[in-house]
Homo-oligomer: A and B are copies of this chain.
């Protein structure tokens, strides 16, 4: 395994798990302890991670993660499955809006080589988009510290410069009667604006978001298709009555 590949694997692992033990790196890469140590040393010099006793941890670029209590690997795995399914709807040449959020972030690796134009209000997504050689546009707006999402009038007015074939949004609440909701009203406005400018809209929400309601309404159920990992037919039948529901293959 070549050095860049190994180091990328290290960074990927770190991104998934926040902190990773040295031994886990060894196992994942089939390299020796010494080699991993040397890699970590180099990557730390490049400011791409932070070494800690026993392994390494991500640099605290993603404040989002800090505020949210430790996500389990299982949860991430769910997100990735949803992300992969979501990305499969994207066609070559599409103009796409990607909402700020971890699930939309996970879509990016599945989007390369599609010659897309992507607009986003998630600053955390930009590096990944650039790395995957995807043309990226930013909405503009106020930088919300906690999540590095762009919100406010600057974001909505920035959105009006564009029209989307598809938009992919994350929300915190999905409910049969109250529709899609999210806690921050400013974010809700951005999401619903993006939705309004899209031919097709997709809401990405793992099963924990179902039947939840939060403060600000984004849209009614039927305004967007729902992509989820909930397999329990009883829990999604109500949604299927009102909108198209895509479920990750189990």
Contacts and interface: CB of A to CB of B under 8 A. Distances in A.
A21 interface: yes
A104 interface: no
A126 B129 contact: no
Main secondary structure of the interface of A (DSSP, over half): mixed
A109 B237 CA distance: 54
A60 B19 CA distance: 24
Contact of A140 (B60, B67, B158): B158
Contacts of A5: 18-19, 57
Contacts of A140: 137-141, 150, 154-155, 158, 161
Contact of A153 (B133, B135, B161): B161
A171 B150 CA distance: 27
Contacts of A64: 46, 48
Contact of A62 (B2, B61, B130, B150): B130
A241 B249 CA distance: 72
Contacts of A138: 123, 138, 140-143, 150, 154
